[in-house]
Structure 1
Amino acid sequence: MKSLPDWAQKALADARAEAGKERTTAKANAATEARNALAQEIGRALGLVQDDKPADPAELTRTITTQTSRIAELEATARTQSVELAVHGAATRLGANAAALLDSRAFLTSVEGLDPGATDFTTKLDAAITTAVEQNQQLRGGQVPRRGGGDFAGGPGTTGRPTSLGQAVAAGLGG
């Protein structure tokens, strides 16, 4: 290139710079097109994009974020219900009151991290129920409430019921 005149060297350098710029621009355009095609494909797969309408990556991101948070909420609800169902099953077997356990904040805190899908879930749940009942006897099942109040019978020496047909008729007629 040194053997060429200055104007030719300048023309070659300009051509090389322009070709480099074109390659960079082409790569950027190809990346953008690939990104848009991928967004379109994901949108179609999720049923969020119609074939005749281009995908909006921002809208897809919002939709996916919303769906992901909804899935997380549903998973948390399913986990809670699985734990409650397991508590009902285990409480009777362990001599505990399931309703009282599920109403106990201390017990719910102790089973908060348990995974119903884990292999040792039943063992950990049984241990938590046993510990809760040992610490609070009111969580024990099968307790009969203490008797409160007294008997209110008819009064001293009277039964309040007629003993003969005549008395029943007289009581019925107001006499």
Structure 2
Amino acid sequence: MPADPTAPSGSVFLPIFQKLVPAHLETPWVAEDGMEPGELDALLAASPAAEASLNGTGRVPLPLALYEFHLALGNCPDLLETDHFFWDADELEILDGFLLFLEDAAESTVWGLRVEDADLADPLVWRRSTGADAEHGVWRCEGGTFSEFTTDLLDWTFEEPDASEETGGTGE
């Protein structure tokens, strides 16, 4: 599937994220699944992360992969709100030096990107086993970059159960 021809020049991750729509929803990606750069920038500027920005400019420290993720899928709740909830651009926040972007349905675990790695195009993902509202938590590296982690998470979320799982392990 070709990338959106109106995508910003130099897009690296946009085609990867656009392909998630047909892969998991069995419909073609359409522009309405994503966002325009101006719309995304306005939402980011209104986010708690912009207010708490460590660089003092009011700009959210946003890696390219996360930015293009929102450009591709920012208006696609069928992918963003499953067993895990990707935060809308205007909900992104900074906690403990991490830019939070995802929480599990039980609100017991959050995932983030280190703010100090925001200049990297596709930084490693970190997990905190306490929710965003918890006062304390320990961060652990997931061992994958944002693009790897999100595509793997969505693949796992939408994967079909094995026949052996459906039949109690007999494969019949």
Higher RCO (CA-CA < 8 Å; seq separation 6+)? 2
More helix by share: 1
What's the TM-score, normalizing by structure 1? 0.24
What's the TM-score, normalizing by structure 2? 0.24
More strand by share: 2
Larger Rg: 1
